[in-house]
Chains A and B, each alone.
Chain A
Amino acid sequence: MSLFYFVAFLSILFALLVIFAKNPVHSVLYLILTFFTFTIQYVLLNAQFLAIVNFIVYMGAIMVLFLFVIMLLNLNKDSEPIRSNFIKFAGVIAGGCLLVVIVAAVKALDKSQPVILRQGDLGLVKSLGKVLFNQFLLPFEVSSLLLFSAMVGAVLLATKDKQPSNA
């Protein structure tokens, strides 16, 4: 139980560091740590398949993509122009208002039930695979089409434009 609160504290701390770090490379590294704390939360919930997928997809693929883009664009220096203090203040107030509204709405509920894992094999690959390949077979195949089109789109967008004379 106390492990949950410790990991939750860590993920909030690292999430704050992501948005307040001046250097974009530091932001990416803190984001990796935040995703790692989320992986620990998945393990605590016994969602082992999602923990592994989160580890591989987010901390492996997506973060490598972010780091490569930052280093290719040579942004590893804090070149960000200073935004005016008024905008920063207004942004923090707006986000804080959103948080206050959500927390107040949750507080208005009754005392909640604890999260108890009733079936031990809920998050394992076996039970998830049975659901995925029976009920959700069509969306699964469609998502492969989505990934393919995303790959084509990324290649099209990121390649340099040809000279107009060649066209």
Chain B
Amino acid sequence: MDTLSQNIQAVPLNHYIILCSIIFSIGVIGVLTRRNAIVIFMSVELMLNAVNLLLTVFSVFRGDPNGQVFVFFIMALAAAEVSVGLAIIVMIYRNTNSLDINVLNRLKW
């Protein structure tokens, strides 16, 4: 494990920020371009994970364990969010027989 963590010593902080923003933008593009509700949900998970990784990187960068504890809380929150969200998706499918989010445009008003 020590030899592995020696490998990161030369990676600048900016490269981590750029990696995480690329993953976050891919999640945004997925939310904007797909119509399947489950794929949109997966894109949201992708965005959540990018933020988690960046928070861990800053925690290591500052030598502060609080950031990693915060990531742990975000993971617990994500588990709760996924279970409720998938239950809502199952309910939508049962009521409308499709997962196309355009069916849900009656929620506008």
A69 touches B30 (CB 8 A): no
B84 touches A122 (CB 8 A): no
Residues from chain A with Cβ under 8 Å of B32 in the complex = 87, 90-92, 94-95
A150 touches B65 (CB 8 A): no
Chain A interface bracket (under 10, 10 to 19, 20 to 34, 35 or more): 35 or more
B39 touches A1 (CB 8 A): no
Residues from chain A with Cβ under 8 Å of B12 in the complex = 111-115
Closest to B12 in A: A112
Residues from chain A with Cβ under 8 Å of B7 in the complex = 1, 3-4, 44
Residues 78-89 of chain A, each 1 if its beta carbon lies under 8 Å from chain B, else 0 = 001101000110
A68-116 contacts to B (CB < 8 Å)? 69-70, 72-73, 75, 80-81, 83, 87-88, 90-92, 94-96, 98-99, 102-103, 106-107, 109, 111-116
Residues from chain B with Cβ under 8 Å of A69 in the complex = 38, 86, 89-90
What separation, in Å, do the CA atoms of A61 and B90 have in the docked complex? 17
Q: Given A62-B78, A98-B28 in contact, is the A116-B45 Cβ separation under 8 Å?
A: no
Q: Is B109 an interface residue (CB 8 A)?
A: no
A12 touches B1 (CB 8 A): no
Q: Is A162 an interface residue (CB 8 A)?
A: no
What separation, in Å, do the CA atoms of A57 and B59 have in the docked complex? 21
A18 touches B49 (CB 8 A): no
What separation, in Å, do the CA atoms of A89 and B93 have in the docked complex? 28
B50-87 contacts to A (CB < 8 Å)? 52-53, 56-57, 59-61, 63, 65-66, 68-69, 71-73, 75-84, 86-87
Binding site for B on A (CB under 8 A): 1, 3-5, 8, 11-12, 15-16, 18-19, 24, 27-28, 31, 34-35, 38, 41-50, 53-54, 57-58, 61-62, 65-66, 69-70, 72-73, 75, 80-81, 83, 87-88, 90-92, 94-96, 98-99, 102-103, 106-107, 109, 111-120, 122-123, 127-128, 131-132, 135-136, 139, 143, 146-147, 149-151, 153-155, 157-158, 160
Ordered by A's residue number, 23 sampled pairs between the chains whose C-beta atoms are within 8 Å are A4-B7, A5-B15, A12-B26, A24-B36, A27-B42, A31-B42, A45-B57, A47-B68, A54-B75, A58-B49, A61-B79, A66-B38, A75-B38, A87-B32, A92-B32, A102-B21, A112-B12, A115-B9, A123-B59, A131-B66, A132-B72, A158-B87, A160-B94
Binding site for A on B (CB under 8 A): 1-2, 4-5, 7-19, 21-30, 32-36, 38-39, 41-43, 45-46, 49, 52-53, 56-57, 59-61, 63, 65-66, 68-69, 71-73, 75-84, 86-91, 93-94, 99-100, 102
